[in-house]
Structures are given as structure tokens and as C-alpha cells.
Amino acid sequence: MATGKGNCYCNYSVKYFYEASGKNISEQWSARDYVIVTMGLTVCFIVIFSNVLVIMAILKNRRFHYPIYYLLGNLALADLFAGLSYLHLMFHTGPWTIKLSREQWFVRQGLIDTSLTASVLNLLAVAVERHQTIFNMQLHSNMSTRRVFIIILFIWVVAVIMGLIPTMGWSCLCDLQSCSTMAPLYSRSYLVFWAVLNLLTFSIMVAVYTRIFIYVKRKSKQMSQHTTQMRHRETVFNLMKTVSMILGCFVICWTPGLVLLLLDGVGCKKCMVLLYEKYFLVLAECNSFFNPIIYSFRDNDMRRTFKQILCYPCKRGSEQKGNSGVQFSTLEHEVQSESNGDSNRDKTQNNHTL
């Protein structure tokens, strides 16, 4: 019954809070439960495999030892943690939920909150880094390694704090009327806070990438007027495609879940949030394996490193073709180098003609 902490319900079971919030859980597995768990486990294994592959590639190839790749490696680490957290959730969901203690329930939810917050903050850090480098016409940022790792540390500190906030008191254990429907031990005000914070981060990312998109589009028009170097034009258009993919992926994966959290947080009784809850959670988790595809699989060097790692057990004396070793620090240098190359080829042809 009641606890020694006034009107708090600290001695009540998880099942009590679920029933009080209207989120009843059957003790028997339904077909829907099996579908959700099967989908979730599939996504988990894809997330874990793809992000382990990215981390191994960055560690293996010294050409990836630059700030942008350190951030991408941390993004892969955050997404890997998300996959493991979601795997833990899959084995503590459905009818298993009512068997959890309050501490186990808060750990389950805290892992998800921490991992997803870290992924979002990493995406924001990558967006800011890309904004800096593209507007300075550089391929790599001038940030020091120390500064990059301070940013990475800050990301994880904020993510852990976000995961611990409900455990530290922002819950509904002492105010049953404020309990949310989707997360019955969480206060609705916390759901609003978490959703608004992530939507604000999303808005900043949209603003940053929109500015990059406009700049790249304007720059591509200028380049088409002053140079005929097809390789350079392709680089510009690839940047535009990447920006579009990043924006589209993030909107598709995150917006439905964040809107659902807001609706639950404001107490919408007619929104049927429980009907879409788990599907939108799986959709949000999918962003963790889309990130390696968008940021890494479009990189030729990363793709070659993936092939080396995956084909290593069956490799039989075949040697990888070496790269030219030419590194460009700016896009202008790339155009200048290509122009010089064309001039040298023309001179050689003229000499042969003479």
C-alpha cells in the first residue's frame, strides 16, 4: 500500500502504474507482441553489425584519423549503444514488463533515452562540423584532436544526464495523476521536455543543413560557369544529395515518435498513442543503421575498407590497388590540380605531334 514518503507510491509495483495509466499489459504473448519483438531484434542486429563495421574501419584506416571521422566514429558508437539498449528492451518488453522492478524499469528506459540522445547530439555535432568545413572550402576541419574529444565527452555527459533525470526525481511516483500513458512511471512534463528538446535540436539541424544546401547549390552554379571539371561538379552534387538524404532520413525516423511523445505529454486522450507507440520506436531506432549508410557507405575509402574487413578471412593473395596518394585540402586546390593535369597532357600531346 502507501509508503512512508507522504503520498508517494514508491512501494507499488510496475504493474500498478501501468494499470493506473490505462496501459494494460497481458500476461500472455499476442501475435502483435511477436511481430514487434521480431522486428525489433532484426533492427538490433543490423544496427549492431553495421556500426561495429564502421568503428573497425575507422580504427583500421589511418586516412580516417581526422575530426570528421572521429565524430562519425562516436556517432557509430552511440548508435551501437542504441542497438544494445534496444536489444535489452526486447528482452524486457511485452508480458515481461510487469515482472520488472521499478529500478529495472528505469534502467531499461534510461538506456534508451541515453542512447537516442547521444545519437541526436552526434548528428548535430556532425552538422556543425560539416557547416564549418564546407563554408571554409576544406575537406577536413582545423579542429584539434583535443577539442574533438572534449566535444565527444560533452555529448556523453549530456546523454547520461538525460537518461538519469527521471531516476533522480522527475517521475510520477509521487503524483499519480501526472503519469504518462506511453511510459507510465514517467511524468508527462518530462516527456514534453524531452520531446521539445529533441525537436529543438532537430530544428537547428534543419537550419544548418538548409544553409549548407543553399550554399552548395549557389556554389555549383558558379563552378559550372567558371570550370568544366566534371569531377568537381560531381563532388558538389554528391554533397547536395547527401544533405537531402540526411534531412529526409531524420525527418522520417524521428518526427512521428517525437510528435507522439508530445501528444502523450499534453494529455491527448483521443490520440491512441499506444496503437502506434512501438512501431514509431522501431522507426526511430532505424535511424541508427541509416546513419552508417548515409555518412560512411557513400565514402569510397570507407567502402574499400569495409571490403577489406569483410573479405579478410577469404582473401588469397590478392592485393588492393594503391591510391594515388594525392590529398586535397580545399576544393579549389582540387580544381587547380586537375587543371594543371589537363595542361600537362595537352603539352605532351603537342610534343608528340611535333
Domain membership flag for residue 316: no
Distance CA 255, CA 232 (A): 35
One digit per residue, pLDDT tens: the chain, 354 residues? Answer: 344 444 677 788 888 888 888 787 777 888 878 888 888 888 899 999 989 988 998 888 888 888 888 888 898 899 899 899 989 988 888 788 888 888 899 999 999 889 888 988 888 888 888 788 777 666 566 778 888 999 999 999 999 999 999 988 888 888 888 888 888 899 999 999 988 988 888 888 888 888 887 887 777 666 655 555 556 556 656 655 666 687 778 778 888 988 999 999 988 878 888 888 878 887 888 888 887 787 666 777 778 888 888 887 776 555 444 443 333 334 444 444 444 544 454 544 444 443
Give per-residue pLDDT as tens, 144-165: 888 899 999 999 999 999 999 9
Domain membership flag for residue 7: no
Domain membership flag for residue 107: yes
Domain membership flag for residue 351: no
Distance CA 76, CA 87 (A): 16
Domain membership flag for residue 342: no
* Inter-CA distances, 181 with 109, 177, 185, 262, Å: 14, 11, 9, 11
Percent with pLDDT over 70 in the chain: 77
Instruction: State phi, psi for 186 to the nearest 5 degrees.
Output: -95, 145
CATH of the domain at 191: 1.20.1070.10
Domain membership flag for residue 186: yes
Full residue range of the structural domain in which residue 107 is found: 14-310
3-state secondary structure of 182: coil
Distance CA 161, CA 15 (A): 26
How many domains does one find in the chain? 1
Closest-CA residue to 135 (of 207, 67, 210, 211) = 211
Domain membership flag for residue 330: no
Domain membership flag for residue 336: no
Burial classification of residue 233, based on how many CB atoms lie within 10 Å of its CB (0-12 exposed, 13-18 middle, 19 or more buried): middle
**For residue 68, what pLDDT is reported?**
80
